[in-house]
Structure 1
Amino acid sequence: MSTPAGWYDDGSGRQRWWDGGQWTAHIAPSDGGAPQAAEAAAVPGSPAVPASPAVAGSPAVAGSPAVAGSPAVAATDACPRPVLGVIALALAVLGTILACIPTPVTFWVGAAVLLIAFVASLIALFRGGARRWPSVVGLALSIVGGAVGTVVMLVALILGAPAGPAPGLPVPPPAGAGTERPADGPATDESATRPSPEQIAEGAQALLHGDGITEYDDKPGFFLCMGQYLHDSDLSDEALQATADGVDVTGPERAAAVDVGADAFVACDPLP
């Protein structure tokens, strides 16, 4: 059935006269007033002009050109914005950056942020009506960022590990090493600083000669006996070195040196 004649929206927002078969050149004024009847009658066969234009909100006739071109019937539903997906994607980027910094604190903070991003991406992915690409990208980045951060942290720990044993642990001896001191190593016993009995004997003889005592020169082995006796005593190395140099012992050990010397005379002087 054809659309009856009348004023309709021609799709441009203006009211144009439809003669029942086609559009005419008659357009309603913008102030809403109807065109003059003379203008409508100027077109042969045109119907009489109505007193007022059609109300814009009146129901349109099926098949009317105004219905086909009217923007009033356009669909208004649109997808909601993916707010949660965008937040999850931003958290995934932040967590990846923190996890790739090779320090324990930043790694664990980044791992926690990546876990939150993973959960938020899953929730945003299964929510209906919103765009899903941010949640998909955030989900993938949270997984890849966690893996990359773990590899970076392991490499940093391996490269930064000390080459020697851990502090506080005993250092094992090298394989094949014995407990004996090397023969060519420096001497560490008292022979390195304590004068020998022969040296002490020569110094004791010089001391007696200094005091005018020479009667023991004819007694073989006397001074060597004294040197051995003094060497085996409790006198310090410094006191014995002074005796070996032919100098009287002074200081706190003088009394002890006199007593040991007297005992050495008794022990080494042969019976008459």
Structure 2
Amino acid sequence: MRGDGTPAGWYDDGSARMRYWNGTAWTDDVAPVTTAPAPQPRGSSGVPGPIGLCAMGAAVFGLIGVCLPWMGPELVGIVLLLVAFVLSGVSLHQDATKWPGYVGLGVALLGTLAGVVMFIIGFMNGYSSTV
């Protein structure tokens, strides 16, 4: 920029700093380094999404269902756990707080383990046909 007619002003001096060019030479004045605001990460809106909350609800009711000793509620619980798995996965890809999706996923996994145990116990002992 030596004598090429560049007007005075703030320019990048080649070292990623803004330095003042007085029209003929660089001065010792440098602008303070400013950083761009960090992009807000996904899922940090602080508001739980409705799909995540539905996933948690389905997982909790599914867990309760599979723990009951009758075949009917156990089958309903299995369906609710499958729904909870799907809704949890969907909620983790939304721009909302992630914790409901993770909780729904964890409870659904716990419910699946409980369902397997209850099914084995029920199968070995014979399911009760009375409520």
Letter matched to residue 103 of structure 1: W
Q: Which residue of 1 aligns with 2:70?
A: 103
Deviation at 1:97, TM superposition (A): 0.3
TM-score by length of 1: 0.29
Residue 68 of structure 2 aligns to a residue whose secondary structure is coil
Does the 8 Å CA contact 1:84/1:124 hold for their aligned counterparts?
yes
The equivalent position to 1:133 in structure 2, one of 94, 99, 107, is 99
Deviation at 1:84, TM superposition (A): 1.2
- Segments of structure 2 that go 5 or more residues without pairing to the other structure are 1-43
Deviation at 1:107, TM superposition (A): 1.1
Alpha-carbon distance between aligned partners in 1 of 2:62 and 2:92, rounded to the nearest angstrom: 19
- Segments of structure 1 that go 5 or more residues without pairing to the other structure are 1-77, 162-272
- Aligned residue pairs total 83
Deviation at 1:94, TM superposition (A): 0.3
Question: What is the percentage of aligned positions where both structures have the same residue?
Answer: 33
Say yes or no: does 1:144 pair with 2:110.
Answer: yes
Does the 8 Å CA contact 1:92/1:138 hold for their aligned counterparts?
yes
TM-score by length of 2: 0.58
Q: Any runs of at least 4 consecutive aligned residues in structure 1 with deviations exceeding 3 A, and if so which?
A: none
Residue 127 of structure 1 aligns to a residue whose secondary structure is coil
Q: Which residue of 2 aligns with 1:207?
A: none
Q: Which residue of 1 aligns with 2:90?
A: 123
Does the 8 Å CA contact 1:101/1:149 hold for their aligned counterparts?
no
Deviation at 1:156, TM superposition (A): 2.1
Deviation at 1:154, TM superposition (A): 1.1
Please identify which structure carries the higher strand content.
2
How big is the alpha-carbon RMSD for the aligned residues of Structure 1 and Structure 2? 1.7
Q: Which structure is richer in relative contact order (CA contacts within 8 A, separation 6 or more)? A: 2
Letter matched to residue 145 of structure 1: G
Letter matched to residue 59 of structure 2: A
